[in-house]
Amino acid sequence: MKKLSSINKFIFLLNNVFATILIASFFIPNLIPEKFGIITLLSLIIPAIIILNLLFIIYWILIGFKKQLILSFFVIIVSFLFIPKLYKFNEVKVSAKKEHLKVMTYNVRKFNIYNWLHVENIDTEIKKLINEEAPDILAIQEYRNIENFNLNFPYSYNYITNKNVQSGLAIFSKYPIINKGSVGYDLKSIDAIYIDIIKKNDTIRFYNFRLASTGVVPDQDYFGHKDSERLIKRLGASFKEHQKQVIAINSHVNNCKYKIILAGDLNNTAYSWDYKNIRNDLQDTFLENGKGFGKSYEFLKFPLRIDYIFVDKNIKVIDHKNLHQKYSDHFPIEVTLEL
């Protein structure tokens, strides 16, 4: 074994730091945001930490120092046992024996009301996409009531939560809605809405949720001292808000006697307290039958999975797709289920 050069000693030191952070990430989902604050913010960067550890492995292989790759290799292998997969290579081919239920969730970012994207008639493009995909149930976050947004659904329910721009949550259904309502941790907060539908002999409870925005803007510079300090405070406040929202949604879900489908925008990664506590014992459709990174959001060209569909253990996940049309800062998710 050749002696490490000064630069490789420094690289190995960095390797140790990022391997340690990845090990620490195993415990982050157990840390309550209200008590542990800043530490829980690490959940946002865990996807990047995983990739960095993989790059260290490749680096040590390429230059021949194979002993140094053991650290990241071991940590990556152990991570498979403790945290959700960052990337899935193959979707599972599942044969369906019963009638399907097709579900889509999409944060439409208020239909581009502030012209974040330089695309004309985004509402028309989104409507065309939805009608082409033809889901049976559709959950929309940051929804606005606008003219000519006519979808091929006979039933719908929406709740406007942001009075300034008249935006909120909406659910569209091809099946009759026999019950509906909203969920919030106080009178000012609506964190989710739900509908009950009957399909064949099953009653299904479908939730559409959105947790508070982190307020992170991809094209903004956060590296100045004051900007970084403001960002950390903002993220800390958002995560504490998430905790309240998740507790409220969980309380409602736990009192439901029907099969559950829970879809929406978590505004956090699968390595967070939010994810662990809103998913509970439900199936994550991406982990069951997804492929790739499961990208539903892009931050500085980095693929993040912050939108999810969770389903009851007694529901079979036939297919999970992440669509890639750029009509919002989020990308839609579509799954096919067998009840």
pLDDT bin (cut points 50, 70, 90) of residue 162 is: low
Q: For residue range 110-150, what is the model confidence (pLDDT) as tens digits?
A: 999 888 898 889 999 999 999 999 999 999 999 998 888 88
Q: How confident is the model at residue 200 (pLDDT cuts 50, 70, 90)?
A: confident
Q: What is the mean pLDDT of residues 314-330?
A: 95
- Residue of 99, 134, 85, 43 lying closest to 323 (CA atoms): 134
| Neighbour tally for 173: CB within 10 Å | 21
Q: pLDDT by residue (tens digit) across 233-257?
A: 888 888 899 999 999 999 999 999 9
Chain CA centroid to CA 211, Å: 10
339 pLDDT above the threshold of 80:
yes
For residue 265, what pLDDT band results from cuts at 50, 70 and 90? Answer: very high
- pLDDT (tens digit, 9 = 90+) per residue, 7-23? 999 999 999 999 999 99
What number is the average pLDDT over the span 164-190?
89
* pLDDT over threshold 90, residue 156: yes
Strand partners, 198: 203
Dihedral (Cα; 284, 286, 289, 295), 10-degree rounding: 180
- Helix, strand, coil share (%) of the chain residues, nearest 5: 40, 25, 35
CB within 8 Å of 79: residues ≥ 6 apart: 22, 25, 26, 50
Phi and psi at residue 302, in whole multiples of 5°?
-90, 130
Query: Are 93 and 289 spatial neighbours (Cβ–Cβ below 8 Å)?
Result: no
Q: Is the pLDDT higher at 81 or at 164?
A: 81
Check pLDDT > 60 for residue 64.
yes
The rounded distance, in Å, linking the Cα atoms of 85 and 79 is: 8
Mean pLDDT score of the chain, rounded to an integer?
90
Radius of gyration from C-alpha coordinates of the chain? 21
pLDDT at 235: 84
pLDDT digits over 275-313, tens only?
999 999 999 999 999 999 999 999 888 999 999 999 999
Looking at the predicted structure, is the pLDDT value of residue 270 above 70? yes
- CA–CA gap between residue 186 and residue 172 (Å, rounded): 25
Q: How confident is the model at residue 29 (pLDDT cuts 50, 70, 90)?
A: very high
pLDDT band, residue 1 (cuts 50/70/90): very low
Listed ranges 33-47, 101-115, 185-199, 218-232; the one with the highest mean pLDDT: 101-115
pLDDT in the model for residue 225: 43
| Reported confidence tier of residue 96, pLDDT bands at 50, 70, 90 | low
User: Which pLDDT value is given to residue 107?
Assistant: 97
Percentage above 90 pLDDT, the chain? 71
Give pLDDT, residue 242.
Answer: 94
* Paired residues of 138 in beta bridges: 104, 172
